[in-house]
Structure 1
Amino acid sequence: MSKELQRYLLTRIGQLLLIVFIAVSINFIIPRLLPGDPVQTALARLQVSGGNQSVDIQAVSAAYRAKYGLDAPLLEQYFNYWLDLFRLDLGVSFANFPEQVTNMIASALPWSVALLATATLIAFVTGSLLGAQLAWPGAGRGIKTLVPMMMILTSIPFYLLAIILIYFFAVVLRWFPPAGGVDTTRIMRFDWATTQDVLNHAFLPCMSIILGNIGFWALGMRSQMINVLGEDYITFAEAKGLHPRRIFVWYGMRNALLAQVTALALQLGSVVSGAVLVEVIFNYPGLGNLLYVAIRGQDYFVIQGVVLMLIVTLAFLLFLVDLLYPLLDPRIRR
């Protein structure tokens, strides 16, 4: 590895650590700006909504403050918060006491990562290929008809696409289940039947994200390919008599993908926020649905933990996207 590439990698790692530090600090400060005692408020709300009436709210609230040092000075609380993070201790859920927030996030995170990674990758690759084909001379009539239709779907929000898909494919046709991540009535085993059941439940949430993004990537790639077509290296490659497919892939798409990857990094935040709404509509057992349930129940420790996990995950995804640049453009290695 060259020194320039090492310097580039260390710079990006430093940026990732800085983003995580700022996210953790903000996540620590914001709950402490809320008026009143959020712990006592949450416990009182649970008791009113049907919890154990014999619970001494003051005693439980005092126990929470003692455990997490909420009566200590703010600076001491800040350092204790970092120590808890290093121990992977994000607190205890109010609504599901004494369930650890870390365990709840660990159960929901694989569902969200699998859904978001699969849907984003399919939408990005398919949209980029369709957009490049649309801009390339001699594009077929099917491409010219399909891509504009996909662009129309981009203007429809994720949650509205999710409702439309549920109506047609779950209610009318009954091809896929309308909600959930897996059939809870059956015994879970690591076999093909369980895998097929998980895929059936994930199909509609995944399609709502794909259909909402594929037109965006196609539109961006078409614009970049039009700019690439006017470059001298395309003309030179054609004059050398290279195969059109090779020109399309290695001279056209490879140079247009750099701006497309930049757009992917800029849109990851919107994709994640849209996926949160999709999980809520489909009652999908991911971080988005967990966050929604925690907000409704004012489960502060769960909200704090999920938001922090979403920020850190998004920062890590941006870091991975940033590492793709030297592979797409060798000039960055210098």
Structure 2
Amino acid sequence: MSITYIGARIGMFILVVWLATTVIFFLPRIASDRNPVRERLVMMAATGNLATGMEKVVAAYEEEYGLDQPLYLQYIRYLSSLVRGDLNYSLINYPTRVWDMIVQRMPYTLGLVGISVLTAFALGSLSGATLAWPGAPKWLKGALPVFLTLSPIPYFMLAIMLMFLFAVRHQWQPEWWPLLPLAGATSVTTVYDGWNMDRILDTIYHSILPAMSIILSQIGFWALGMRGMMVTTQGEDYVTLAQMRGLKPSRVFSLYGMRNATLPQLTSLALAMSLIFSGVILVEVIYRYPGMGTLLYNAIAGFDYFVIYGVVFVLIVMVAASTFILDIVYPFIDPRVRRAA
């Protein structure tokens, strides 16, 4: 892999992040002339938290956030702040910085997305590859229609279904029926001092239902795609040659069949990351999971514009970074791309 290839991918990563952040800066300002500071202060006045001096307070906040400057100066200030890692202050929780709020929520979202996506991708790809190969187990053939039925269901609908089945006790459920946590990421009766093994295990336990909402919806998609790729791969000359040389079927399956069929799957994974993140946001809201999705939802409900900008920016960086990592890993899997790079 050449330096030019890596440099081009880094340049593409920076370009994607810059274009996306430019859009989220200008679009709300062009689409609406609403003042975020005034909107928030009006809500405070309606609840009795701001009695007098509305205009003076608005002017002070606009000066603090740079909203009294021309649009192009606001944009320059916005970009320079992002480069420094300064996402401004929260309107609701002033003077708490937006970055500090995101850092508290980021481990939950990264853990949920990472484990769910990797598990669904691995199980789905392996199931699809096995189904396409001769001698697939009958139980796996029977499970495929179930996975394909769950795949078109949106994440949030599947989350509601799983919550109804496994988080609420019903009269028709037998005594051995498992009940999982309904909401949150840790037990409400336990207070943890930092991250330790007990807290990690408690978080994993509370993450089972949110993770299953994503995994069950994704397995069928990856299994169907992998099965199609494996059917195509079986007719390739290199697979036929490997079989004629007398290699073990397991070796032909893993090294000659599945390895080559996985390449288009990785491309699909990179393209699907934005949809996966958008679905995870809704799942977090449904389960009141304290990730970035719940933070974004609360910011939208409270007109906390700077938290909205900050969370969306970090999500953009995460999606772009995942695509960048896949671009870097791809040449190590496919020698043809490695030679071209």
AA matched with 1:126: L
Picking from 247, 251, 256, the partner of 1:251 is: 256
Alignment of 1:51-66 (within 5 A): 51-54=48-51, 56-66=53-63
Picking from 287, 298, 305, the partner of 1:300 is: 305
Picking from 38, 41, 60, the partner of 1:40 is: 38
Is the CA contact (8 Å cut-off) linking 1:123 and 1:210 kept in structure 2? yes
User: SS at 1:171's partner residue?
Assistant: coil
CA drift of 1:164 comes to 1.4
CA distance in structure 2 between the partners assigned to 1:186 and 1:56 by the alignment:
43
Matched, 1:131 2:128: yes
CA distance in structure 2 between the partners assigned to 1:120 and 1:53 by the alignment:
45
User: Could you tell me which residue of structure 1 aligns to residue 183 of structure 2?
Assistant: 179
Picking from 100, 104, 123, the partner of 2:97 is: 100
Bigger mean CA offset, 256-265 vs 94-103 = 94-103
Deviations 1:38-78 (A, max 9, x none): 21122102321x24133533222212221232222222222
Is the CA contact (8 Å cut-off) linking 1:131 and 1:217 kept in structure 2? yes
CA drift of 1:283 comes to 0.5
TM-score by length of 1: 0.95
CA drift of 1:174 comes to 5.5
CA distance in structure 2 between the partners assigned to 1:327 and 1:72 by the alignment:
49
CA distance in structure 1 between the partners assigned to 2:15 and 2:243 by the alignment:
46
Alignment of 1:1-334 (within 5 A): 5-33=2-30, 34-48=32-46, 50-54=47-51, 56-172=53-169, 173=177, 175-189=179-193, 190-334=195-339
Deviations 1:155-194 (A, max 9, x none): 1111111111112211134531100111233120444332
Summarize the Cα distance change of 1:55–1:234 in structure 2 as closer, same or farther, 3 Å threshold: farther
CA distance in structure 2 between the partners assigned to 1:292 and 1:36 by the alignment:
19
Summarize the Cα distance change of 1:53–1:75 in structure 2 as closer, same or farther, 3 Å threshold: closer
AA matched with 2:186: V
Is the CA contact (8 Å cut-off) linking 1:8 and 1:333 kept in structure 2? no
CA distance in structure 2 between the partners assigned to 1:177 and 1:214 by the alignment:
23
User: SS at 1:187's partner residue?
Assistant: coil
The list of structure 1 runs, each at least 4 consecutive aligned residues, that deviate by more than 6 angstroms after superposition, is none
CA distance in structure 2 between the partners assigned to 1:305 and 1:232 by the alignment:
51
Unmatched segments (≥5 aa) in structure 2? 170-176
Bigger mean CA offset, 66-75 vs 287-296 = 66-75
CA drift of 1:207 comes to 0.7
Is the CA contact (8 Å cut-off) linking 2:41 and 2:50 kept in structure 1? no
CA distance in structure 2 between the partners assigned to 1:94 and 1:288 by the alignment:
18
TM-score by length of 2: 0.93
CA distance in structure 1 between the partners assigned to 2:34 and 2:197 by the alignment:
52
Is the CA contact (8 Å cut-off) linking 1:276 and 1:289 kept in structure 2? yes
CA distance in structure 2 between the partners assigned to 1:138 and 1:227 by the alignment:
17
Bigger mean CA offset, 136-145 vs 190-199 = 190-199
CA distance in structure 2 between the partners assigned to 1:16 and 1:51 by the alignment:
46
CA drift of 1:36 comes to 3.3
CA distance in structure 1 between the partners assigned to 2:146 and 2:319 by the alignment:
30
CA distance in structure 1 between the partners assigned to 2:154 and 2:128 by the alignment:
21
Bigger mean CA offset, 51-60 vs 11-20 = 51-60
* RMSD of aligned alpha carbons: 1.5
User: SS at 1:156's partner residue?
Assistant: coil
